[in-house]
Amino acid sequence: MSDTPYTERLTATPEGIRRAAELLKAGKLVAFGTETVYGLGAIASSDTAVARIFAAKGRPRFNPLISHLPDAESAFAQASLSGRMKEIAHTLAERFWPGPLTMVLPRSPDSTVSDLAAAGLSTLALRVPRGRTALALLREVGAPVAAPSANVSGTVSPSDAFHVLRSLDGRIDAVLDSGPCSIGVESTVLDLTRNVPVLLRPGGVTLEELNDLCGPIRHPDDFAEIAPASPGRLASHYAPSLPVRLDVTSIAPDEAQLAFGRPFPGAGLTWNLSESGNLEEAAARLFAGLRFLDAEGTRRGLKTIAAQTIPRHGLGLAIRDRLRRAAEPRTDTHADTMAPS
Ligand code: TXA
Ligand code: MG
């Protein structure tokens, strides 16, 4: 499917942003930085353009994409909102948009988002990102941009442009480099299509913040359960090639350690998410750390990535969720990397 021999490197200048917008409007694939992770963008109204996202990522087509817009007004124009959920959506938008929150809302009959991007669902995931470059790009495009994380499906998400190129160079038309992502884990996905708000994916906006503003938010205990409403929550995900061991209390010399706070002695290799035990810093260093331990650990013949316990509050919930999914056995669900597209 890929007819893309060369991936253009664009910088976050007005010309770079204009070029990226031009490519998107022409149905091309452009990876761009947001405050969470890099997204792989395509114009959301075009089935053909969106199909190329699924092909480049090897992503199963039943997994819907988030549509990105530059402001709440243009985002809500894609949705049908009424009653209490409308109030909640507007309250959330005022507080968290632009920012790392994705709202799942009933899809408007007038929505311009293609069926393929929405995976045929009657709902739509909408997000207004906070990254300056991302916002400028979305304004320039002037239409919804579908963008999953810019990595091969099932692998660790990209938190800088270098990560994007490592997995997608030559498979996409351009990458717009805006430097490393400030938050480093994906947006929080909140479902507002039922009678109570349901947290589908913990992310950059914390559960505490959501509960304060419009709680109680329903959520699975420690996200052990996979919410059926979020078809993308395949169990195995964010998977490095080394197996991952969670909540370790000691460490062996043939292990690569993902530390938080004070590292355990004796590891073959260590990446500290945050020496001071700061969860924001840990989130921002998570995906780079997994990549580093995986590559360097493999090179040194280490057997596992062993992760210290991350607290269950604030951004810790999102970090724990990503680590738990990185640790899932790679059974048939991980075959999604090989899925036909
Ligand atoms: O931070 C982010 O959200 C990044 C940046 C690029 O914006 N994007 C991202 O996209 O993480 P992706 O495709 O990797 O994850 C989107 C999640 C998936 O779990 C998907 O199943 C879910 O959102 N989703 C999308 N549309 C949905 C819908 N209509 N109902 C329920 N879940 C939906
Ligand atoms: Mg993803």
- Does 226 score more than 50 pLDDT? no
Residue 332 has pLDDT above 50, yes or no: no
Q: Would you state the pLDDT for residue 250?
A: 95
Q: How far apart are CA 167 and CA 65, in angstroms?
A: 19
Task: Report whether pLDDT(149) > 70.
Answer: yes
pLDDT at 79 over 60: yes
Q: Which CATH superfamily is domain 8-223 in?
A: DHBP synthase (3.90.870.10)
**Side chain identity, residue 182:** S
How far is it, in rounded angstroms, from Cα 31 to Cα 334? 23
Measured in degrees and rounded to the nearest 5, phi and psi for residue 69 equal -135, 160
pLDDT at site 23: 98
CA dist 92 and 70 (Å) reads 16
Give the model's pLDDT for residue 3: 55
**What are the DSSP calls for 324-335, one per residue?**
HHHHS--SGGGG
235 band by pLDDT with thresholds 50, 70 and 90: low
* Distance between CA atoms of residues 71 and 127, nearest Å: 9
Alpha helices in 97-217 (DSSP H): 132-141, 161-168, 207-214
User: What's the confidence (pLDDT) of residue 39?
Assistant: 98
| Substitution candidate for ligand 1 out of 66, 192, 333 with most atoms within 8 A of CB | 66
* Ligand 2 midpoint to CA 147 (Å): 9
Tokens of 146: 């579908």
Domain spans of the chain? 8-223, 244-338
159-205, pLDDT tens digit by residue? 999 999 999 999 999 999 999 999 999 999 999 999 899 999 999 99
| Contact (CB, 8 A) for 193 and 86 | no
- pLDDT value for 229: 44
Under 8 Å between Cβ of 148 and 57: yes
Residue 127 has a pLDDT of 98
User: Residue 340: what pLDDT?
Assistant: 28
The pLDDT mean for the chain works out to 92
Residue 270 and residue 263: Cα distance in Å, rounded? 8
For 56-67, write each residue's pLDDT tens digit: 999 988 999 999
- The whole-number pLDDT of residue 238 equals 80
> In CATH, what number does 244-338 get?
3.40.50.11030
Task: Taking residues 213-233, report their average pLDDT.
Answer: 65
Nearest CA to ligand 1 atom 31: 230
Instruction: Quickly tell me which residue has 């001071």 as its tokens.
Output: 276
Q: Give the residue carrying structure tokens 């809500």.
A: 76
Of residues 210 and 225, the one with the higher pLDDT is: 210
Provide the pLDDT confidence category of residue 337 given band limits of 50, 70 and 90.
Answer: very low
Give pLDDT tens digits for 88-137: 999 999 999 999 999 999 999 999 999 999 999 999 999 999 999 999 99
From ligand 1's centre to the CA of 36, what distance in Å? 12
Q: In the predicted model, what is the mean pLDDT of residues 274-295?
A: 98
Bridge pairing between strands 269-272 and 39-43: unpaired
Looking at residue 324, its amino acid is R
What is the per-residue pLDDT for 329?
79
Q: Looking at this predicted complex, what is its ipTM?
A: 0.99
pLDDT value for 236: 67
Report residue 234's pLDDT band, with 50, 70 and 90 as the boundaries: low
Q: Ligand 1, atom 3: nearest CA belongs to which residue?
A: 187
Q: Which residues pair with 127 in a beta bridge?
A: 68, 102
DSSP states of 302-320 as a string?
A: --EEEE----SSTTHHHHH
46, 65 contact by CB (below 8 A) = no
Give 184 Cα–ligand 1 centroid separation in angstroms: 15
Average pLDDT over residues 251-269: 97
**Ligand 1 — pocket residues by CB below 6 A?**
34, 36-37, 39, 63-66, 102, 104, 121, 123-125, 127, 129, 147-149, 186-187, 189, 200-201, 229-233
pLDDT at 230: 53
